[in-house]
Amino acid sequence: MEEDHGRDGYIDSSQLPGYQAEGDERVSFDSCLAIANSYKVEGNDKFKNQEWSEAMECYQNALQVLEPYKSIPFKQVKEMLTSCHLNIAASGYKKSVGMKRDLEAARELDLALQHCKEALSLDPRSVKAYFRQGQIYAEISALEDAARSQYDSFSGSANILTQRSRDSLLQAKSILGTNDNSIAAAFEELEAGAAKKRRKEYRTSLQMSKASDATMERSDKAAERMNQKNIPRKAEDWNKIDLDGELQRLEYESLRQQGLSEDEIRNRQIMQIVQDSSLDEDEKMKRCMHLVGHKDWQPHPLTEQERNRRESEKMLQFLQDPRRSPDEKVSYLAHLYQKSKPSD
C-alpha cells in the first residue's frame, strides 16, 4: 500500500527556494525529497570547505523544501529534517568558534542551540544532537555575561552552562553505549577549559588591536599637523608629537611586514619588558598589564618583608651577573653597606 503524500502527492512549486514560474507548478513528494537532498549535498561540500554561512543556507533551503511535509510522519522526511537541523547546528558552532567578538559568536550559538533542540524533538535519542549540544553549551559558558544575557536560552551562570555541556555529552555517551573518540575529546576540552582559554585570547587580541589602532590614530594626527603646508615647523612643535606612540607604530608595522601575528608581536613585546634589567618587578608587571589592555592596573603597596625580599633578589641577580666585573660587584656591595649603615 502506497503512502499518502497529501494533496495527491504534490506540492506547489512556488514554495521551493529560487522558484521561477514555468510549466507545471506541482512537484511530487519524491522530487521534493530529491531536491532537499541535493541542497544537503551542496551544504556538505560547503561545510567541508569551511564555508559555514553558505553551508547553513543550503541546509535551510532543504528544510524549506520539506516544510509542507514536516508534520507528516514520513521516515525519509524525519531523517532528512533531523540531519539538516544537526548540520546547521554544526555549522553555527564551527562559525562561532572562529568569531573573536562574543556578541557575534552568541548569535550563532543561539541559532545552533535552537536547531539542536529541533533535532532532538524529531529524534530524542540522537547521539549527534546531544554531542553537538554539549559542544555548544561549552562555548556559551565561555562567553562574557553581557553577551550571554542577550539570549534566554543562555540563562544560568557559567558553571551551570558548563554542567549542561557535561550532561549533554554524558547523555550522548549513554545512548551510544560505547566509548567514542569525539565524545572523549569533547570531554577533555571541556574539563581543560579550552573554550574559556580561546575566548580569553580573543578578548586580549581585540584589546591589543584597539590599543594599536588608538596609537596609530594619534600618530597619524600628529603627522597630519606636522605636514600642513606653508606652516614652518618650530622647535616646540616637536614636543607635540607622541614620539613613543610613533615608535611603537613603526615597530608594529615592521613586525607585521615580517609576517608576525598580533599575538606574536604582543608576546615579543612582553618578553622585551621582562628581560629589561633596568626595570624593577613592579614596573615590568605594570607595563605588561598595560600592554594587554589593563591601563588602570597598579601594583599593590609592598610590605616591609616584601621590600626586603625584593632587595635581596636584586642583590643576588647583580652579584651573579657574569657581565659585571669584580670591581663593580665590590662597589655595589659597598654602596649597599653605606645605604644600610645607620646615620650618626
For residue 179, what pLDDT is reported?
81
Helix (H, G, I), strand (E, B) or coil at 27: strand
Name the H helices within 149-242.
158-176, 181-192, 194-226
> Cβ of 307: how many Cβ atoms within 10 Å?
11
3-state secondary structure of 306: helix
Per residue in 180-200, pLDDT (tens digit) is 999 999 999 999 999 999 988
Amino acid at residue number 145: D
Closest C-alpha among 312, 286, 280 to residue 300: 286
User: What count of Cα atoms within 13 Å lies in the side-chain half-sphere of residue 253?
Assistant: 10
Q: Are 244 and 219 in contact (CB under 8 A)?
A: no
Instruction: Provide the 3-class DSSP secondary structure of residue 250.
Output: helix
pLDDT at 285: 78
Instruction: Quote the pTM value.
Output: 0.58
Note the pLDDT tens digit of each residue in 72-101: 778 889 999 999 999 999 999 999 998 889
The pLDDT value given to residue 47: 94
Task: Give the C-alpha separation, 102 to 147, whole Å.
Answer: 6
Q: Which domains does the chain have, with CATH numbers?
A: 7-192 (1.25.40.10), 301-344 (no CATH)
The three grid cell numbers given for residue 286, joined into one nine-digit string: 605594570
- Vertex 133, ends 127 and 138: CA angle to 5°? 130
324 contacts 331 by C-beta, under 8 angstroms = no
pLDDT in tens, the chain (344 residues): 233 334 444 445 455 454 444 444 456 778 888 999 999 999 999 999 999 999 999 999 999 988 888 887 788 899 999 999 999 999 999 999 988 899 999 999 999 999 999 999 999 999 999 999 999 999 999 999 888 888 888 888 899 999 999 999 999 999 998 889 999 999 999 999 999 999 888 888 888 777 766 666 666 665 565 555 445 555 555 565 666 666 777 777 888 788 888 778 877 878 887 777 777 777 777 777 777 777 777 777 767 777 777 777 777 877 887 777 888 888 878 877 777 766 55
d(CA 280, CA 293): 20
